[in-house]
Amino acid sequence: MAQTPSVKDIDLGWGEIKKNLLELSVIQAEVGHYEEDLHPSGLGMAELAQKMELGFVNQLNILVPPRPFHEFTSNRNSSETANMSENVVDRLFKNRGSVKGSVTTLGLWYARKMKEGIEDFSSPANRPYTIERKGFDNPLVDEGDFKNGVKSKVVDRKEM
């Protein structure tokens, strides 16, 4: 009687890789200012960030020009952001670390880059009155509350 050939299925890690990639497709890091966080002025941090990004007319009817720090941060870190993202996927393919841990690390890194962008943003400069009041010319930094208000959260897009 002829013997029936047998097949042995050996998982070389594809199951774990597939699970990680599926998880990665539904979670993301969000970095920025959040409405529930209040600036000492009483404004929600997200509202203040939008005003800084787009410009606004202040209570003295003076136009505060746009200071697009999000775009500034994104543009100056685009290559490094792509490299960091590739590293996350590479680590997951090699089963090194968790998806949530990797996305958390990426978010914290970008939050640090955004804080640096807020610190380094310089144009347009402050008006002479503002420079005199603050004692320096850094358009997005006063007491540091705005810069320090940048946060990173990992969110599940399935719940959005």
**CA 115 – CA 144 distance, rounded (Å):** 10
With vertex at residue 91, the alpha carbon angle to CA 86 and CA 95, rounded to the nearest 5 degrees, is: 150
Q: Which residues contact 4 (CB under 8 A, 6 or more apart)?
A: none
124-133 residue pLDDT tens: 999 998 899 8
pLDDT, residue 160, reads: 58
10-62 residue pLDDT tens: 777 788 888 888 888 899 999 999 999 999 989 999 999 999 999 999 988 99
Residue 124, preceding bond cis, omega within 30 degrees? yes
pLDDT band at residue 105 under the 50/70/90 scheme = very high
Tokens of 128: 């002479």
Question: Structural domain boundaries of the chain?
Answer: 28-159
Q: What is the mean pLDDT of the chain?
A: 90
pLDDT, residue 97, reads: 80
Half-sphere exposure of 6 (CA within 13 A, CB side): 4
91 vs 132 pLDDT, higher one: 132
64-78 residue pLDDT tens: 999 999 999 999 999
